[in-house]
Amino acid sequence: MDRLTTNFAGTLFGLHGEPAHERIVVASDAESGLQAVIAVYNTARGPAFGGCRYWQYASDYEAYHDALRLSQGMAFKNALAGLPFGGGKAVILKRPEQMDRTAMFKAFGRLVQSMGGVYLTAEDVGTTADDMRAVQSETPYVSGIPRDNDVYGGNPSPRTAYGVFVGLKAAVQVAMGRDTLDGVSVAVQGLGSVGWDLCERLHRAGAELIVADIDAVRAEKARQMFGAQIADTGRIASVNADVFAPCALGGSITEAVAAECQFKVIAGGANNQLMSLAEGDVLHRRGIFYAPDFLVNAGGIISCVREYLGSADKQSVLDEVGLIAPRVFELAERVKVSGVAPARAAVAWAREMMVLR
């Protein structure tokens, strides 16, 4: 068997040990170079809503598997946020030979349109508001873009960061009994738009920052602006800090990290932080409170949904994102009652909500 195939933790129809996805579309467009996967995990609450990731993967299998995992996470995220949508995700494979980005995203827009509203898209890692404008030229099933006439909308990253901030603060109160972040040390992995905004908020709240990013210039800027310590990207998960905030790509909580890290809290903006639920079990046994990513990083999808529905203004969206904090407290209570790890408790809670509309 091909080595890449053996690393693929799923089947053509879904993830191992999980219900099959409702729909998985693999498509290409020779003229633009588009190669994409759209995965629809579940539409029990409504059409599948989730962003479009544009990334260079080690293999096609890896991209396919990422789409499956991300779409499942979106279903959980939308359910816990009480949104009237199911979960889906798109992955566009980044190729060195691709040249005309606008043409490629127009082709992606046509692909979304062909699904007839079953899947709605928005920004994710590697995509921008301009990309979504190109998508919008071909389909109305898109969000995360500035709208005309001052209608609420645009880049959802600041709302994602705000949700992570309030979720992290609540998790600190749960695990450390502290109602402020003053003097709390936080290791932030990744200084992209969400990670940077989170650092700004943490700095204003008095937190002591340790940061790591593949862009050394950006890390140095964080040192200058926030007084942050700079850690090596390969060692940020092993530094001595109260909180770990993964805000880069997924999979940062490996078996080794779960067994050896010294944090009291893990709460960040990255999707799929745990390699599997088993790592969450290890964290729980060690007394580390993990605030699941699909609970605390829901601010972006809340923003995109309200923009798409035309049902909110900036303050009402922030108020809705702020409800992430009481949901963290509710999760902690569920963990206390059930005795299961937060990750498993959150999945069970999300599955309950997926059948309630």
**Which pLDDT tens digit goes with each residue over 92-125?**
999 877 679 999 999 999 999 999 999 999 999 9
Per residue in 143-153, is it b (16+ CB within 10 Å) or e — as a string?
A: bbbeeeeeebb
The ranges of the chain annotated as CATH 3.40.50.720 are 157-297+325-354
Q: What is the mean pLDDT of residues 241-253?
A: 95
Q: What is the pLDDT of residue 194?
A: 96
Give the pLDDT of residue 9: 60
- Residue-level pLDDT at 161: 97
SS (H, E, C) the chain: CCHHHHCCCEECCEECCCCCCCEEEEEEECCCCEEEEEEEEECCCCCEECCEEEECCCCHHHHHHHHHHHHHHHHHHHHHCCCCCEEEEEEEECCCCCCCHHHHHHHHHHHHHHCCCCEEECECCCCCHHHHHHHHCCCCCECCCCCHHHCCCCCCHHHHHHHHHHHHHHHHHHHHCCCCCCCCEEEEECCCHHHHHHHHHHHHCCCEEEEECCCHHHHHHHHHHHCCEECCCCCHHHCCCCEEEECCCCCCECHHHHHHCCCCEECCCCCCCECCHHHHHHHHHCCCEECCHHHHCCHHHHHHHHHHHCCCCHHHHHHHHCCHHHHHHHHHHHHHHHCCCHHHHHHHHHHHHHCCC
Question: Which residues share a beta bridge with 92?
Answer: 36, 54
What amino acid positions are annotated as catalytic residues?
A: 89
Task: Judge whether residue 32 has pLDDT over 90.
Answer: yes
Q: Does pLDDT of 349 surpass 70?
A: yes
- Best mean pLDDT range from 10-24, 143-157, 303-317: 303-317
Residues 114-163 pLDDT 10s: 999 999 999 999 999 999 999 999 999 999 988 765 557 788 999 999 99
Domain with CATH 3.40.50.10860 in the chain: 3-73+86-145
Which has more pLDDT, 326 or 155? Answer: 326
Can you tell me the mean pLDDT for 195-202?
98
Per-residue pLDDT, averaged over 309-322, amounts to 91
Residue 3's pLDDT is: 30
Distance of CA 16 to the CA centre of its chain: 21
The model's pTM: 0.93
Average pLDDT, the chain: 93
157-297+325-354 folds as Rossmann fold (3.40.50)
Query: Can you tell me the mean pLDDT for 232-244?
Result: 96
Given a cut of 50, whether residue 7 has pLDDT beyond it is no
3-73+86-145 CATH pick, 3.40.50.970, 3.40.1160.10, 3.40.50.10860, 3.40.1050.10: 3.40.50.10860
**Residue 172 contacts residue 265 (beta carbons within 8 Å):** yes
Percentage of the residues of the chain whose pLDDT score is greater than 90: 87
Alpha carbons 148 and 153: distance in angstroms, whole number = 9
